[in-house]
Structures are given as structure tokens and as C-alpha cells.
Copies of this chain bind each other. A is one copy, B any other.
């Protein structure tokens, strides 16, 4: 293998595939990045066997030459060093050449790195996916859907299926749901299907995979192809393939959990409630339970308060845009509500309570594509 490549394009691709590489893998070859050069361009692959990322740098995109191939071939180089090295090389071009015994030379400016490579034949092949279940959506919409749900996945391995985000799809509507059984985040969107009506059910993508995916996704309206099989999901965009395994197990049915009525309904400014919870959490964080109390007052105000026996207490009044229904005193995990408020991009939210001991919902007021559900905490 022997080629020269534009440094910036190479660095960009290496950083992408490096996100899939884990230093804690038990499979030695997966500590490396696979580099494959053909006359069409250079393909890079990184994997931790749960996530695999493959990027392709074309020899030319018509406008610019990225790669000059002198000899086709492939090699695996230690990811940890290789990614740091290419970033720190001084020239605009990098020359990569493999000699005997996988010894590899990287040359740029007056710098020469001689690296010990690994046998590319040992590197596992990526799965070939059947493209039956196939739909599309813009990168920025996918990025939003992930951001607005993934924070709510469970971090505990007692119910592994809850550590992922569940995808359900019917006709052209996609629904993403995450829950740790104390709170639930749900986000809907319309997607484009290429193969007739989409039908997805119990497709659970690990939260960790989606967090890595979001680092690779850009705020662009370019379409992402999403291909789902029994055990794998593949996101395809802009010369990049992102594979993730799916979680086994039956995801709980969450539709029936969402109350269809409300006894008390508030409309509040999102940022005002968020700042108030941040202050209240300063004290309740100390008590380790993050409990915050909310009480409806006269004249459309609520009182937010929290107490720490050691430090003291905080009380604050917020005026609501509207308040309807019964009086209420309720306590909840303020950190959970704060997490949800941070991903709601709307200026105002609607909170619908069904009583002090029953779950309540938080939704943006300007669309119905998102819903957050919370269990209260018993204190009163």
C-alpha cells in the first residue's frame, strides 16, 4: 500500500472513525484503525464491536484531488497513536507507505514516523445489511431527536433494554422513546420512506451508540439513510457509515403510561423555570435526592422551594402565563425536570398534573412532537 493524501481530509476522517475505537476492548486488532487504499480512494474503519464507523475519502470529488494512489493495499495502525500523529503532522500532504511485516511509514514535511502496523486480514468485516427496512431524514432532525431523548435512558444494567432508545415506526411517523422508569422522553417526527410504508417495532439502539452518532452528525439538512435489520442499525451519510448493534429484549409499552387528562395545568416560560430549578437544586443536591417542591398559589403564581437540613432553604415565586384547575402541592426530582427543560427549544411549556401522587407531563406549547413524563416523589 502506498498513497499520498490531503492532511485535513485525512485528519477529519480519522477523528470520525476513532470515535468507535475503545482502548478497553478485549480484541487486540480493534485497538487499531483499518486503512484500505483502492484506486477509488481510501477507506478507514474503527470499531469496538458494538459500534463500527467507516469513512471513505474519494481519490477526487471532481473539484479537488484528495488522494493519489501509488499502490493499493491495506494496514491496521494503533488508533491511539495514529489519530494523535496525523493531527500533529506539519505538512499539507501525508504520504503513507507499507513495507514488509506491516511496518508503515508516514511522511509529512521533514517528519518521518515509522510505525508498527497490524495484519489487516485479522480485522473483522463489517456486516452487509439487507436494505428492506429503510427510511430517511435530515441530519439535523436526527441529531435533535437523539439529543431530546437519549438523556433519559437508564444508566443501570439491571434492565439492559432501558439503556437504549426505542424506535417505533408506522406509515411515515417515527417515534423515539427513552425511559429509566422514573422519567420518560418521547419525540415524534415525519420521515421519508423509500420502500413503501415503514414498519418498525422494538428497535432499541444503545444510548452510548446514539451519543457517539450525535458527535458525528452535523447541523445540516442533508439526508441520512437509516437501515434497520434484526440485530443491527446502519446510518449512512456523506461518505460515512455508522453501524450499531441493537439491544435484545422487549421494550416496555409506554403509550398507556401517558395520562390523557389533567387536574391542574400550567403554562410557564421555559428558561424562567429552568433557572429556578437550578437554584433550588443547589440545596436539594446536598440532600442527595434532588427533591424540589412546587405549590400553586393565588394569582397564577407557583412557589418553588427546596430544603437542606444542613445548609438552609430556598423559596421562590414564579408567575405563570396561565394556570387552570385544582390547587396542588407536589414534589419531584428537580434534576430530571431540568434535563428535559434543557432539550425543549420552545419558549413556553405546558405542565399537566393529574394529582400529587400521579405522573405529570411537560410539553412545549408550540407543537405536539415532544412529551416528557415524570413520576412525583412522595414527601407531603
Taking beta carbons and an 8 Å cutoff, which residues of A are in contact with B?
78, 81, 84-85, 88-90, 103-104, 110-116, 275-276, 278-279, 282-283, 286, 310-318
Contact B275 A78 (CB under 8 A): no
Closest B residue, CB atoms, query A103: B312
**Cα-based distance from A314 to B110 in the complex (angstroms):** 11
- A113 pairs with B314, CB closer than 8 A: yes
State whether B81 touches A311 (Cβ < 8 A).
yes
Instruction: Report B-chain residues with C-beta under 8 Å of the C-beta of A311.
Output: 78, 81, 115-116
B115 to A85, Cβ gap below 8 A?
Answer: no
A32 to chain B, nearest CB (A): 11
Tell me the minimal C-beta distance from A80 to chain B in angstroms. Answer: 9
Q: Name the B residues within 8 Å of A112 (CB-CB).
A: 314-316
Given contacts A90-B275, A275-B90, contact A282 B85 (CB under 8 A): yes
Complex-state Cα separation, A325 to B318, whole angstroms: 77
Chain B residues near A104 (CB, 8 Å)? Answer: 312
Shortest beta-carbon contacts, A-B, top 9: A115-B312, A111-B316, A110-B317, A113-B314, A114-B312, A88-B279, A112-B315, A114-B313, A116-B312
Q: Which residues in B have their C-beta under 8 angstroms from that of A313?
A: 113-114
Kindly report which residue of chain B lies nearest to residue A307, judged by CB atoms. B114
If A90-B275, A115-B311 touch, does A282 touch B316 (CB 8 Å cutoff)?
A: no
Partner of A113, one of B84, B312, B318: B312
Known: A90-B275, A115-B312. A110 touches B282 (CB 8 A): no
A279 to B89: give the CA distance in the assembly, Å: 8
- Could you say which of B84, B111, B116, B279 contacts A85, with CB atoms under 8 Å apart? B279
Closest chain B residue, CB of each to CB of A275:
B90
15 more contacts with CB within 8 A, not counting A81-B282, A88-B282, are A81-B283, A81-B312, A84-B282, A85-B282, A88-B278, A88-B279, A110-B316, A111-B276, A111-B315, A112-B314, A113-B313, A114-B313, A114-B315, A115-B311, A116-B311
* Min CB–CB distance A176 → chain B (angstroms): 32
- Chain B residue with minimal CB distance to A88? B279
A22 to B115, CA, bound (A): 46
Min Cβ gap A312→B in Å is 4
What are 8 sample pairs from A and B whose C-beta atoms fall under 8 A apart? Answer: A81-B282, A88-B279, A89-B279, A111-B279, A112-B315, A113-B313, A113-B314, A116-B311
In whole angstroms, what is the CA distance A309 to B201 when docked?
51
Nearest-neighbor residue (CB-CB) of A317 within chain B: B110
Separation of A276 and B89 alpha carbons in the complex (Å):
9
CB of A269 to closest CB in B, whole Å: 13
Complex alpha-carbon distance, A282 and B89, angstroms: 11
In angstroms, how far is the closest chain B Cβ from the Cβ of A275?
7
Complex Cα gap A81–B306 (Å): 14
Pick the most buried of A85, A90, A113, A314: most chain B CB atoms within 10 A of its CB.
Answer: A113
